[in-house]
Amino acid sequence: MNAKEYTREILRLIRQTSPGQEEFYQAATEVFESLVPLLEEEHRYREHSILERIILPERTIIFRVTWMDDSGKIQTNLGYRVQFNSALGPYKGGLRFHPTVTLGIVKFLGFEQIFKNALTNLQIGGGKGGSNFDPKGKSDSEIMRFCQAFMNELHRHIGHTRDVPAGDIGVGAREIGYLFGQYKLLTANFEGIVTGKGIGWGGSFGRKEATGYGSVYFAEHHLNRHDMELKGKRCAVSGAGNVAIYTIEKLHSMGATPITCSDSRGTIHHPKGIDVKTLKAIKEVGRESLEKYAQLHPDATYIPLHKYPEGGHATWSIPCDIAFPSATQNELTIVDAKNLVNNGCKLVNEGANMPTTPDAIDYLREHGVLFSPGKAANAGGVAVSQLEMAQNASMQRWSFAEVDTRLFGIMKSIFDTAYETSKEFGDEGNLIMGANIAGFRRAADAMIDMGAV
């Protein structure tokens, strides 16, 4: 069996053993297909059954979360923590609270996290967790009681050298506070068991901004390699959460114009540039719909989701030079890719995890659009999470400037590693292949060193 047939065989096994886990299968297919040139050259990964091992989580925890809503009714949700791979360090990765969370979603995110974390060149393994809990429309007390109930089980499985969760969709500073508080109550230990903590109680300066800022730094490194720069570019950004807000903030400071943002109900188009202050007031403070943005800025347009034809998203139909999908998986489809190409888009830089569908990626690349894969471009968040762990372990606090300088350097190093690896394997500039091979190689080499465990 040659390397291609071998990876296909493993993917067939995954299909068989993980039925219905479409997103997990999609993520595994992308990674394994791009490993073929490495597997052709290096036989040791096959000899040590690395593919067969790395595709299986080391441990999967699924638990019931029982909590009481404001009316006194008992509510139930499912909680997950997938401890995927600890070859490079403690499991590290966020928690997602969203009604669409299933085991397949958590496994796709945890699997991606192995390679993303490896690319940072820091000591962190891969994991992910979450719940199908829907934070929308819940009171602050309900969010607190849910987080406490979630931690009542999760606390047994995490620890600062074992597994360190953080935020993701639906989990931000507020939830991290409640989760940390309950862990502290249950264990009587004040330790860095989650990242994204408040600055006053063990958090790191720059963590909140890190994913968005890092994504913009990555885009700049990528453009620079092709003799372009962000300055003066019109950028379409999707999402209006943590990643999108700080992407937009940094784009302004780099001299680019972020012209869109979106939430689950619609898109804002503001040709003169999204006002970050308004965006933060609506989304970070008020937790309201983006519709309000257009009321406050009459020169901006609100396009409700249902107004756009099937299979595409309004955000990607607005002419832009660079696209920053920063909301959720599979949000940029083939319809969108065609619009972006027609409108002369030069780079798609993934801020979210797996936001671009496989056929859209192929179409973009075939039409000469540069592509930054999420596991490289959005690694700034987890990288600064690791810096938060380092500060906690040494009981130090670094300045914002110190963290930001390190983040900039880490994003450059991730870009260079992915780029050089793509060159090494004969497809210069294919950062999907470069990032997957470089991340895989680091985790896989550690697994080989550690024997059959």
Which residue in 23, 168, 321, 445 binds ligand NDP (CB under 6 A)? 168
Q: How far is the CB of 48 from ligand NDP (least distance, A)?
A: 30
- Residue 16: how many other CB atoms lie within 10 Å: 8
**Is the CB of residue 91 less than 8 Å from the CB of residue 59?**
no
- Note whether 382 binds ligand 2IT by CB under 6 A: yes
Which residue in 21, 83, 195, 372 binds ligand 2IT (CB under 6 A)? 195
Which residue in 238, 317, 353, 422 binds ligand 2IT (CB under 6 A)? 353
Q: How far is the CB of 50 from ligand NDP (least distance, A)?
A: 25
- Contact partner, 135, from ligand 2IT, ligand NDP, none, Cβ < 5-8 Å per class: none
- Note whether 243 binds ligand NDP by CB under 6 A: yes
Phi, psi at residue 436, to the nearest 5°? -65, -45
423 tagged catalytic: no
Binding mask 317-346 for ligand NDP (x = CB under 6 A): ---------xxx------------------
- Residue 310: how many other CB atoms lie within 10 Å: 6
Give Cα 5 to chain centroid, integer Å. 30
- Contact partner, 12, from ligand 2IT, ligand NDP, none, Cβ < 5-8 Å per class: none
Q: d(Cα 214, Cα 351) in Å, to the nearest integer?
A: 9
Q: What is the four-CA torsion angle of 442, 37, 423, 229, rounded to 10 degrees? A: -80
Q: Report the site for ligand NDP in 265-294 (rule: CB under 6 A).
A: 265
- Contact partner, 92, from ligand NDP, ligand 2IT, none, Cβ < 5-8 Å per class: ligand 2IT
Which residue in 141, 264, 295, 342 binds ligand NDP (CB under 6 A)? 264
Q: Report the site for ligand 2IT in 84-113 (rule: CB under 6 A).
A: 92-94
Q: d(Cα 11, Cα 35) in Å, to the nearest integer?
A: 13
Q: Report the site for ligand NDP in 207-236 (rule: CB under 6 A).
A: 211
Element (H, E) at 333: none
Start-to-end CA span in the chain (Å): 26
DSSP strand E in 24-180: where?
59-68, 74-85, 91-97, 125-131, 163-166
Tokens 């930054």 belong to residue = 372
Residue of closest CB approach to ligand NDP: 241
**Is the CB of residue 202 less than 8 Å from the CB of residue 208?**
no
CA neighbours closer than 13 Å in the CB half-sphere of residue 331: 27
Q: How far is the CB of 220 from ligand NDP (least distance, A)?
A: 18
- Note whether 385 binds ligand 2IT by CB under 6 A: yes
Count of residues binding ligand NDP (CB under 6 A)?
23
Element (H, E) at 265: none
Q: d(Cα 264, Cα 247) in Å, to the nearest integer?
A: 18
Helix H, strand E, coil C: the string for 327-340 is CCCCCECHHHHHHH
Q: Report the site for ligand NDP in 359-388 (rule: CB under 6 A).
A: 378, 381
92, 128, 283, 375: which one is catalytic? 128
Kindly report the CA angle at 270 between 342 and 264, in degrees rounded to 5? 80
Residue type, 392: N
- Note whether 243 binds ligand 2IT by CB under 6 A: no
- Note whether 167 binds ligand NDP by CB under 6 A: yes
In the complex, the residues that contact ligand NDP under the rule CB under 6 A are: 167-170, 172, 211, 239-244, 263-265, 326-328, 351-353, 378, 381
- What is the set of active-site residues? 128
In the complex, the residues that contact ligand 2IT under the rule CB under 6 A are: 92-94, 116, 166, 168, 195, 353, 381-382, 385
